[in-house]
């Protein structure tokens, strides 16, 4: 818990979020529950992304591949196996895929890794598209999906799991190892950090949750098309939320997710094209003026406050 | 068609070269910008899109042929690049040594992504999201077995000439040498007396200008909308990663290679396989050559 | 700083009043309250270029309706106000939007979004909240799996019917061999799935069959094969995005077959502008509407659309959108906003629209036949079926 709340402010924030989100389905209309669901989804996705990409510095632009695989598994096994099994299976499938491709993929570094992960996600997307069309399927419709609230609480559990995962990683020896290899991989290796194993572990750990998230979100929209569910924008949004949040642990992504989700909801309701322009402007402004993200802003302010605490009012 | 017929088809070769030359032009600009900035310009394809709209506006509103408008549009693109450099990037480059490489990477992704969204949606606001296209140079010339629409031939010639010209410039001229030096190692180039600032803004001007020009060519070939820039960005990235980041010559080769894979690959399998082949080749190549096909340094673990 | 109690109360009271006034909009009598009609439309993303034909039609209708004093709601006229959101070309976004429109914005009526995936995606939402919507631009056999009750589809361009009718038309033109190219998007893929067996049954040889992804940028490989095959008809099951590419490259490669069918695209004014009038001439496409004397209002709609937007309406999408509005108008005039009464009426009545009579049998339109149009001298003419034809089919004379 140390990293989660070194002071009361953070504990309060976490507890508030938990209670608000937990109580939402009982108090609000469907639309607001939908917003809450979206927020939880992004939280789960972003926190799991950070395990490899923030901690080890291997920025992945292909996080959506696990999301998509999970969704695809659910759709393909629809009404053939119990849903719970399908969702859990989605997590297992994603982790397996990560384990399979992890070793060669993680040999690639920096911007090459970024584009490689993107290419990987697209490759999977187009392969599945080709398989679907070769088997005569154009689209799939899912009837009899579970109720919104069931979906909501499943996502709630996943978001909690993701936060717990990132926090645990952040505090563990494993996490410190990842940080060290982020700063300088060769030096870390010389110091005895099992660099290859750690990278792979981070990759696999970060893959399971998005798989299950994708599986659950497939239930939300009864209409399934491969291209939709492997949307690269999902990967980009995850990166945006993590960067906007800033920081090195579970707190940053939380802020980033809340900020961007609420901003989107507020804005797209009004002028769609203008909303995107405003969003783009905000991203640019943030990167240029607030490079350490919202965490950086908050911590900077706290540092300034404590510095001037001794002065008379 | 039999496999042999396919491989020897002049028509397919023409198509592959048209595609490849376009990729080459786009990759050229992307490499120049990346080489100096070490930032992934994910808005590059949107610059192409803007160039396309520029040509469209010139043709439909003013009646100016895209080929005539091209230099002006490229110049505007170059100017935009210059403005961005002077306005934003010069400061970032100068003061960014304390930022970790990671942060710069993902930050630059976001920065250009923000730019990309703005460009796409501002264009949609200005021109509506409708597909646009126009008819120009659509006479078909036939040389033996090969049919070539005028605009596709023009694309091949213009893009091809520019790329070859640029390659020669980088290889032979002093300024070109200076550019390559800055791309390879900026501080060292500075030490040996290269005017780094000048090289950098020149790279931006050329990078953005070539993107705008590619857009003019693209506008002649088919439909485009404010959101059609993204595939060009992707293609550009695949090409420059394959060639090795910053390696302009290798990028040009990789572009032609990609055009060949795409056209012949599709002919031998099916159009549905196009992206599978492209991304498959890309992923495979990168896994085998983590620093690009033409990298000189040893791969990391 | 402490305000005296009374003025603080005044300030708070004043602010609350102002907020309430803002929240409730203008305070007017009940009958003058605008009628809020909500829908989602793809304004950004991949499909944004296809939706204007529908959005324009909606806007035209609103303008005309308000000019007449408003929409007739069970006897009272109320001005129409749209509540529009952008679904970013994502069906799951459309789901959220319709949920919002119903539960949060609490709109009075809903209109359909553009495209089959979106109609299918929102169907469960409409059923959950028992909110009837007259669909329009949706065509899929999957529509029949939707439980009838809260959404209906007036189009006759359903893939299995298209397969049957297209084959019949080809047979009537003595076509012996064809090439079939299909975009893998759902609508065109479905058509292909139904078309090829029908062609086989009719004894027409399919010499080339190919599929391509929606983002295709070069069709040379496929079209070279088609050219070599020397078929009587080329059936390009294309979407607007690739229809132009197809036309341009067919021209380059000199595909001079007498019959060229392009599934979606030629019915939009944009097509002829993009490929040139000579290329667009003679292309056959899917549509079941054209302005004609016996269909009341069709010419008026056509003229009004051209006047307002400076181009022809899309003969498929715009017509369907207008038809759905006519059906809604007729219904609401009688039943008011009672959802169950609306539903009952829409399911059972025969409506008069600019496309003739429309009656729903389950979710589908049982009257309008599946038809095809051809561009002749720059105008779209219905050439099939004979019962509806305004002109005879003419062979295409090159590009």
Contact criterion met (CB < 8 Å) for C252 and B140: yes
Contacts of B297 (CB under 8 A, 6+ apart): B291
Say which residue, B296 or C54, is predicted with more confidence: C54
Tokens coding A276? 């995107």
Specify the 3-state DSSP secondary structure of A141: strand
Tokens coding B290? 């983590």
Give residue-wise pLDDT tens across range C382-392. Answer: 999 988 888 88
Pick the residue of B91, B107, B258 with the most A CBs within 10 A to test the interface with A by mutation: B107
C118-141 exposure pattern, b = at least 16 Cβ within 10 A, e = fewer: bbbbbbbbbbebebbbbbbbbbbe
- Residue C119 in contact with residue C96, Cβ under 8 Å? no
**pLDDT over 80 (residue C188):** yes
pLDDT bin (cut points 50, 70, 90) of residue C38 is very high
Give chain A positions within 8 Å (CB) of C43. 272-273
Contact criterion met (CB < 8 Å) for C145 and A133: no
Count other C-beta atoms under 10 Å from residue A291's C-beta.
Answer: 16
- Residue B138 in contact with residue B128, Cβ under 8 Å? no
Indicate the CATH number of A8-307 among 1.10.8, 1.20.120, 1.10.287, 1.10.3470: 1.10.3470
DSSP H helices in chain C: 5-24, 52-67, 91-103, 116-129, 159-172, 186-201, 220-229, 240-253, 269-275, 277-280, 298-309, 317-335, 339-348
CATH topology of domain C159-286+371-384: Rossmann fold (3.40.50)
Q: What is the spatial distance between Cα A160 and Cα A158, in angstroms, rounded to a whole number?
A: 5
Q: DSSP string of C129-154?
A: HT--EE--S---GGGGGSPTTSEEB-
- Region C221-244 average pLDDT: 90
Q: What are phi and psi of A249, to 5 degrees?
A: -145, -160
Find tokens 């990037």 and name the residue: B89
* Alpha-carbon separation of residue A259 from A54, A246, C376 (angstroms): 19, 12, 56
What is the DSSP secondary structure assignment for residue A309, as one 8-state letter? T
Q: What are phi and psi of B168, to 5 degrees?
A: -65, -45
- Region B130-148 average pLDDT: 84
pLDDT of residue A159: 93
Contact criterion met (CB < 8 Å) for C85 and A269: yes
Sequence ranges of the domains in chain A: 8-307
Specify the 3-state DSSP secondary structure of C210: strand
Give residue-wise pLDDT tens across range C193-206. Answer: 999 999 999 999 99
Q: What is the spatial distance between Cα B277 and Cα A126, in angstroms, rounded to a whole number?
A: 9
pLDDT bin (cut points 50, 70, 90) of residue B104 is low
Tokens coding B87? 């306005």
Q: Return the closest-CA partner of residue A218 out of A301, A135, A142, A110.
A: A142
Interface residues on A facing C, Cβ-Cβ cutoff 8 A: 29-32, 34, 38, 126, 129, 133, 136, 138-139, 141, 143, 145, 217, 220-223, 225, 227-228, 231, 268-269, 272-273, 275-276
Q: What is the spatial distance between Cα A229 and Cα C93, in angstroms, rounded to a whole number?
A: 12
How much of chain B exceeds pLDDT 70, in percent? 93
Tokens coding A241? 């939320």
- Region B256-276 average pLDDT: 89
| Least CB–CB distance from B272: residue in C44, C51, C213 | C213
Q: Return the closest-CA partner of residue C280 out of C380, C200, C372.
A: C380
Find tokens 């999902």 and name the residue: A234
Q: What is the spatial distance between Cα B240 and Cα B254, in angstroms, rounded to a whole number?
A: 7
Sequence ranges of the domains in chain C: 30-156+294-365, 159-286+371-384
CA angle A41, A43, A45 (to 5 degrees): 70
> CA of B142, closest CA in chain A: separation in Å?
35
C30-156+294-365 placed in CATH 2.40.400.10: no
- Region C34-53 average pLDDT: 86
Contacts of B288 (CB under 8 A, 6+ apart): none
Give residue-wise pLDDT tens across range B163-184. Answer: 999 999 998 999 888 988 888 8
Environment class of residue A26 by beta-carbon count within 10 Å: exposed (0-12), middle (13-18) or buried (19+)? Answer: exposed
pLDDT of residue C7: 47
CA angle C290, C295, C300 (to 5 degrees): 75
Q: What is the spatial distance between Cα A126 and Cα A120, in angstroms, rounded to a whole number?
A: 10
Q: What are phi and psi of C153, to 5 degrees?
A: -125, 110
> CA of A96, closest CA in chain B: separation in Å?
18
**pLDDT over 80 (residue C23):** no
Q: Which residues pair with C80 in a beta bridge?
A: C35
Strand-pair category, C205-212 with C233-237 = unpaired
Say which residue, C32 or C35, is predicted with more confidence: C35
CA A27 to chain centre: 26
Cα-trace Rg, chain B: 19
Contact criterion met (CB < 8 Å) for B271 and C213: yes
What's the distance, Cα to Cα, between the start and end of chain B in Å?
A: 44
Does this chain's domain C30-156+294-365 share its CATH topology with C159-286+371-384?
yes
Specify the 3-state DSSP secondary structure of C358: strand
Contacts of B290 (CB under 8 A, 6+ apart): A107, A108, A109, A112, B299, B300
C92 touches chain A (CB under 8 A): yes
Taking chain A (313 residues) in runs of 10, the rounded mean pLDDT of each run is 60 85 84 89 95 90 95 90 91 95 91 92 93 80 80 92 92 91 89 91 94 92 83 91 86 90 80 77 85 80 66 51
* Alpha-carbon separation of residue C388 from C229, C300, C327, C369, C394 (angstroms): 33, 20, 22, 8, 16
Tokens coding C136? 């329009």
Q: DSSP string of B60-94?
A: HHH---HHHHHHHHHHHHHHHHHHHIIIIIHHHHH
> CA of A302, closest CA in chain C: separation in Å?
28
CA A90 to chain centre: 16
A-contacting residues in B 31-50 (Cβ below 8 Å): 34, 40
Give residue-wise pLDDT tens across range C249-308. Answer: 998 888 999 999 999 889 888 888 888 888 999 999 999 898 888 898 999 999 999 999
- Region B259-264 average pLDDT: 91
* Alpha-carbon separation of residue C373 from A52, C269, C274, C283, C390 (angstroms): 56, 14, 19, 8, 9
Find tokens 């646009």 and name the residue: B132
């Amino acid at each position: 818990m140390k990293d989660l709340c070194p002071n009361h402010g953070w504990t309060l924030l976490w507890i508030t979020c938990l209670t608000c989100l937990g109580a939402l389905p009982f108090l609000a209309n469907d639309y607001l529950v939908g917003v809450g669901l979206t927020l939880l989804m992004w939280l789960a996705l972003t926190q799991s992304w950070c395990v490899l990409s923030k901690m080890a510095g291997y920025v992945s632009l292909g996080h959506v591949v696990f999301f998509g695989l999970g969704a695809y598994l659910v759709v393909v096994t629809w009404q053939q196996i119990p849903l719970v099994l399908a969702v859990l299976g989605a997590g297992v499938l994603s982790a397996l895929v990560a384990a399979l491709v992890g070793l060669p993929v993680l040999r690639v570094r920096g911007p090459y890794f970024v584009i490689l992960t993107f290419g990987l996600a697209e490759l999977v997307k187009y392969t599945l598209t080709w398989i679907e069309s070769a088997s005569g399927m154009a689209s799939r419709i899912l009837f009899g999906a579970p109720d919104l609230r069931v979906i909501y609480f499943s996502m709630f559990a996943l978001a909690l799991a993701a936060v717990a995962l990132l926090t645990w990683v952040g505090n563990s020896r494993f996490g410190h190892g990842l940080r060290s290899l982020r700063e300088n991989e060769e030096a870390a290796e010389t110091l005895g950090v099992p660099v290859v194993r750690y990278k792979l572990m981070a990759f696999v750990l970060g893959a399971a949750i998005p798989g299950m998230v994708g599986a659950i979100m497939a239930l939300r929209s009864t209409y399934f098309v491969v291209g939709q569910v492997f949307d690269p924008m999902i990967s980009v949004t995850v990166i945006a939320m993590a960067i906007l949040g800033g920081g090195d642990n579970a707190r940053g992504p939380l802020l980033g997710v809340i900020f961007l989700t609420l901003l989107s909801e507020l804005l797209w309701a009004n002028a769609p094209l203008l909303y995107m322009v405003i969003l783009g402007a905000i991203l640019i402004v943030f990167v240029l003026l607030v490079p350490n993200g919202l965490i950086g802003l908050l911590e900077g302010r706290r540092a300034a406050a404590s510095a001037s605490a001794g002065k008379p009012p | 068609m039999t496999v042999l017929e396919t491989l020897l088809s002049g028509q397919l070769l023409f198509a592959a070269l048209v595609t490849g030359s376009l990729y080459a032009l786009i990759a050229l600009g992307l490499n120049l910008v990346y080489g100096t900035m070490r930032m992934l310009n994910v808005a590059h394809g949107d610059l192409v899109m803007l160039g396309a709209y520029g040509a469209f506006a010139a043709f439909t509103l003013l009646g100016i042929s895209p080929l005539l408008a091209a230099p002006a549009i490229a110049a505007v693109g170059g100017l935009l690049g210059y403005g961005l450099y002077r306005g934003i990037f010069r400061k970032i480059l100068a003061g960014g040594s304390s930022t970790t490489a990671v942060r710069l990477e993902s930050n630059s992704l976001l920065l250009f992504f923000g730019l990309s969204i703005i460009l796409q949606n501002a264009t949609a606001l200005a021109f509506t999201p409708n597909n646009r296209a126009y008819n120009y140079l659509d006479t078909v010339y036939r040389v033996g077995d090969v049919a070539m629409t005028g605009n596709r031939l023009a694309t091949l010639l213009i893009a091809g000439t520019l790329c070859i010209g640029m390659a020669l410039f980088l290889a032979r001229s002093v300024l070109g040498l200076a550019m390559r030096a800055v791309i390879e190692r900026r501080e060292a180039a500075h030490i040996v007396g290269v005017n780094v600032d000048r090289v950098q803004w020149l790279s931006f001007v050329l990078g953005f200008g070539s993107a705008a020009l590619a857009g003019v060519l693209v506008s002649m070939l088919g439909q485009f909308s404010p959101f059609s820039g993204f595939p060009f960005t992707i293609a550009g990235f695949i090409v420059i990663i394959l060639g090795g980041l910053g390696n302009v010559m290798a990028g040009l080769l990789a572009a032609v290679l990609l055009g060949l894979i795409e056209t012949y690959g599709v002919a031998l399998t099916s159009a549905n396989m196009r992206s599978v082949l492209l991304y498959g080749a890309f992923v495979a190549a990168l896994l085998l050559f983590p620093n690009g096909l033409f990298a000189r340094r040893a791969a990391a673990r | 700083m402490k305000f005296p109690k009374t003025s603080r109360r005044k300030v708070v009271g004043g602010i609350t009043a102002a907020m309430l006034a803002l929240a409730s909009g203008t305070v007017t009598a009940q009958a003058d309250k605008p009628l809020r009609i909500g829908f989602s439309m793809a304004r950004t993303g991949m499909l944004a270029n296809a939706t204007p034909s529908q959005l324009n039609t909606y806007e035209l209708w609103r303008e005309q309706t308000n000019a007449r004093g408003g929409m007739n709601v069970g006897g009272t006229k109320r001005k129409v106000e749209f509540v529009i959101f952008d679904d970013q070309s994502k069906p799951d976004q459309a789901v959220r939007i319709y949920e919002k429109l119903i539960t949060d914005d609490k709109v009075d009526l809903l209109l359909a979004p553009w495209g089959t995936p979106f109609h299918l995606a929102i169907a469960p939402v409409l059923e959950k909240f028992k909110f009837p919507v007259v669909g329009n631009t949706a065509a899929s056999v999957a529509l029949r799996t939707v439980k009838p009750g809260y959404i209906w589809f007036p189009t006759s361009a359903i893939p299995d019917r298209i397969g049957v009718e297209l084959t019949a038309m080809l047979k009537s033109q003595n076509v012996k061999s064809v090439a079939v190219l299909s975009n893998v998007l759902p609508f065109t893929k479905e058509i292909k799935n139904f078309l090829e067996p029908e062609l086989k049954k009719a004894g027409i040889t399919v010499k080339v069959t190919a599929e391509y992804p929606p983002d295709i940028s070069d069709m040379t490989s496929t079209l070279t094969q088609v050219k070599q095959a020397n078929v009587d008809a080329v059936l390009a099951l294309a979407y607007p995005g690739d229809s132009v590419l197809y036309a341009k490259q067919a021209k380059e490669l000199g595909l001079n077959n007498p019959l060229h069918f392009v599934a979606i695209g030629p019915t939009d004014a944009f097509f002829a502008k993009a490929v040139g009038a000579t290329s667009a001439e003679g292309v056959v496409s899917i549509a079941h509407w054209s302005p004609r004397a016996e269909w009341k209002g069709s010419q008026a709609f056509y003229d009004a659309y051209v006047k307002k937007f400076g181009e022809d309406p899309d003969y498929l999408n715009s017509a369907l959108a207008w038809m759905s509005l006519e059906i809604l108008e007729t219904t609401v005039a009688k039943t008011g906003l009672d959802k169950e009464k609306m539903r009952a009426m829409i399911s059972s009545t025969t409506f008069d629209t600019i496309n003739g009579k429309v009656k729903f049998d389950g979710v589908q339109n049982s009257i309008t036949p599946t038809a095809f149009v051809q561009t002749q001298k720059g105008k779209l003419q219905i050439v099939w079926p004979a019962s509806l034809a305004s002109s005879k089919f003419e062979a295409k004379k090159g590009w």
